[in-house]
Amino acid sequence: MGKTAARVAIACAAATCAVAAVAASNRLRQRANWSRAVAIVDEFREAFQTPMPLLKHVVDAMVAEMHAGLVREGGSKLTMLLSFVDSLPTGDEHGLYYALDLGGTNFRVLRLQLGGKNGRILNKEYQEVSIPPDLMIGSNEELFDFIAQRLGDFVAQEGEDYNPHGKIRELGFTFSFPVNQTSINSGHLLKWTKGFAIAETVGKDVVSELQTAMVRQGLQMRVAALVNDTVATLAGARYWNKDVMVAVILGTGTNACYVEHADSIPKWRSALPKSGDMVINMEWGNFWSNYLPKTQIDEALDKDSVNPGEQGFEKLFSGMYLGDIVRRALLKLAKEAALFGERVPSKLSLPFILRTPDVSAMHTDESSDLEETSRVLSSVFGIKSSSLQVRRLIVEVCEIVAERGARLAAAGIVGILRKIEGDCVANGVANGEVGKVNLANGELGKLIGNNKVNGRKTVVAIDGGLYEHYPKFRNCVDSTITELLGKDAAKDVIVQLFKDGSGIGAAFLAASHSLYR
Ligand code: ADP
Ligand code: MG
C-alpha cells in the first residue's frame, strides 16, 4: 500500500467511526427520549386517575353542592336554577304545537300535531336553518327578525294534516344560553356564548324580543315555554316515559337537570307553587370540588380560556375541551421527550386544533398499525411519519383523558340519583318507613335499590354528540354508573340516549303549559 492509499484508508476508518459514534449517540438519545415519554405518560396516568374512593367523594360533593345551591342564591357554584317547569308532559297532550330550538349556529323549527295517549305524535315536521354569521354579531332586531321570519315561513307551510282548531298557535322556545328565568315564559339573557355577541340583547327578556319580532313579521303566535336544552331533553323523554327523572347533556358543553320537590327548594319557596315538582336546571358545568383531579394541563387550559375559574367541571370532560386536553398532553410529550422528532411540530401549539371527534377516532382505532391515528396526526398536525410505538402511546393518552372525563360525568349523574334517593329516604324516615339508613356510609347502591319511588325504575336521559358518537366514552359512563351503584341497584337505573329532545321537548312543554290546558 502506498502512502496515499494508507492515508485514505485511515481517513475512511475515522469517518466510519465518527458516523458510528453519531449513530450510537442518536440511539442513546432516542432511547432516553422514549424512556422520558413513557415516564410522562405514567405521570399522566397517575394525575388523571379516578379510583373508586375518589369518585365516591365526587358523588358526595355533588350531593352536598346540590343542597347548598338550593338553600340560597350563591350558596354553591352549582346555581341550581329554577326552570319554572312544574308540569311535565304526560303523553296526554292534544293539539298543534311549535318549537324553536336555538343553541348554536343552526336553529330548528318544528311542528307537531299531538293526539293524546293513543294517537301520540300524529304528525311531525321540522326544518333546520343556519344563521348567517354576521347576524350573530349584528343587531338584536336583525337577529330576532330573521328568526321570526323563518318561523313565519315555516308556519305558512302548515298543511291540512295540522289543525289549530281556531286557537292561537303556541310555541316552545329552547334557548340554550344562560338566562335568568322569571317565569315559565320569560327570562333575561345573562350573556351570549358560542360565538354570539350582541350587546343589546344582554339583560333583555328574550321571549319579549321574540314576541315583538313576531308581531313585526305579522306572525300570531304565543311563546308558552322558555327552556334550555337540558330541560327540553327531560321533557322530551318524559313524554314517553314517566320514570325519567334526570336529563344530562354531554355535547359541546355539559349540563344536567332533574325533578325536585318544590318544598325542598328553600331559596325559592315563596316563588313556588305550594306543592308538586319543579325541574331544576343545575348548570352543573360550573360544579367544582377539591376532590376533582385537576392536573397542570387543566390549570393551563383554564388560565388560557375566555372564562378562567368558571365551568370547571365542563372543562374536565365536555366535547369542547377533551380534544384540547389531549393536544396539551401531546405538546408536552413533543417538547420534553421529542416524541415527534427534534423539532416540535408547530401546529401542536395551536389551541383547539385537535377536536374531540379526532380523539374519538384515535381512541377507537383498532387497526393493527393504527392507521386512523396516523391519519389524524397527519391531517391535524402535519406529522407525516410516526412509529407504531409512538402511535400506541398517543392512543393511550386519549384513553387516559377520555376515561377520566367519562368517569367524572358518571359520578355527577350518580350524585343526582343519590340526592333524589336521599330525599325519598328522608321522607321515608319521616313516615317511619325506613329504619337506620346511613347515607354517608357507602350505602348508596342499597338505597337506590331499596327505595325506588313506588317500586319504579329511575331513568336518566342523555343527549349530546359526545355521548352519542363516542362509543368508548359512552360505555365508560355507563359502566362507571353501574360500578358506583353496585350491580343490583344499577338494575333499577336506566341510562338512555335520548336524541334531539331539545326541539321536540320544547313543543311538549308548550303543550303542557298551554293556555288551553
Ligand atoms: P351541541 O352540544 O353543540 O348542541 P351536539 O350535542 O351535537 O351539539 O354535540 C356536538 C359535540 O359532540 C361536538 O362539539 C363534539 O365535541 C362532540 N362530538 C361530535 N361527534 C363526535 C365524535 N365522533 N366523537 C366524539 N365527540 C363527538
Ligand atoms: Mg345540543
Least-confidence region, from 19-28, 36-45, 118-127, 436-445: 436-445
Partner residues linked to 180 by β-bridges: 188
Q: Which ligand is nearest to the CA of 228?
A: 2
Ligand 1 pocket list (CB less than 6 A)? 103-104, 251-253, 319, 356-357, 360, 464-466, 469-470
pLDDT at 274 exceeding the cut of 90? no
Q: Is 218 left (phi over 0), alpha (psi -120 to 50) or beta?
A: left
Query: Amino acid identity, residue 240?
Result: W
77 Cα to the center of ligand 1, angstroms? 25
Ligand 1 centroid, distance to 105 Cα (angstroms): 13
pLDDT reported for residue 6: 67
Question: For cell 330573521, what's the residue?
Answer: 146
Strand, helix or coil for residue 260: strand
In CATH, the number for domain 83-240+501-512 is: 3.30.420.40
Instruction: Give the Cα separation of 85 and 184 in Å (integer).
Output: 6
pLDDT-derived band at 427 (thresholds 50, 70, 90) equals low
> Given a cut of 60, is residue 34 above it in pLDDT?
yes
pLDDT tens-digit map of 90-147: 999 999 999 999 987 789 999 999 999 998 999 999 999 999 999 999 999 999 999 9
Q: For the whole model, what pTM was predicted? A: 0.89
What pLDDT does 432 receive? Answer: 33
Query: Averaged over 276-284, what is the pLDDT?
Result: 91
Assign 434 a pLDDT band (cuts: 50, 70, 90): very low
- Pick the residue whose CA is nearest to atom 25 on ligand 1: 357
Give one DSSP letter per residue of 102-165, joined into a string. Answer: ESSSEEEEEEEEEEHHHH-EEEEEEEEEEPPHHHHTS-HHHHHHHHHHHHHHHHHT--TT---T
- pLDDT reading at 389 higher than 90: yes
Q: Which of 315, 372, 466 should be mutated for ligand 1, with most atoms under 8 A from CB?
A: 466
Residue 454's pLDDT band, with cuts at 50, 70 and 90, is very low
Residue 442 has pLDDT above 80, yes or no: no
**By alpha-carbon position, which residue is closest to atom 13 of ligand 1?**
252
**Shortest-distance Cα residue to atom 3 of ligand 1:** 252
**Closest CA relative to residue 322, chosen from 310, 314, 332:** 314
Mean pLDDT of 260-278: 75
Ligand 2 center from residue 254 Cα (angstroms): 9
Torsion sign across C-alpha atoms 266, 269, 272, 274: positive
Mean of per-residue pLDDT scores for the chain: 90
All structural domains of the chain with their residue ranges:
83-240+501-512
Of 382, 319, 373, nearest to 350 (Cα)?
Answer: 382
Q: Give the pLDDT confidence score for residue 426 in this predicted structure.
A: 67
Neighbours of ion ligand 2 (CB under 5 A): 229, 251
SS3 state at 368: coil
3-class DSSP state of 256: strand
Average pLDDT over residues 417-429: 76
All residues at 6 or more sequence positions from 272 whose CB lies less than 8 Å from its CB, including other chains: 82, 86, 262, 265, 278
Residue pLDDT, tens place only, 54-87: 999 999 999 999 999 999 888 999 999 989 998 8
User: Residue 383 above 80 pLDDT?
Assistant: yes
Torsion of CA 419, 422, 424, 430, to 10 degrees: -140
So what's the pLDDT on residue 222? 97
Residue 511 to residue 171: CA distance in whole angstroms: 8
Given pLDDT bands bounded at 50, 70 and 90, which one contains residue 437?
very low
pLDDT of residue 395 exceeding 50, the answer is yes
pLDDT confidence of residue 194? 76
pLDDT tens digits, one per residue of 305-320: 988 999 999 999 999 9
Question: pLDDT-based confidence at 449, cuts 50/70/90?
Answer: very low
C-alpha cell at 204: 333583555
When pLDDT is averaged across residues 186-207 and rounded to a whole number, the result is 92
The residue contributing the CA closest to ligand 1 atom 16 is 319
- Joined together, the cell numbers standing for residue 447 give 338505597
Cα separation of 117 and 132, whole Å? 40
pLDDT at 450 exceeding the cut of 50: no
Say what the pLDDT of residue 452 is.
47
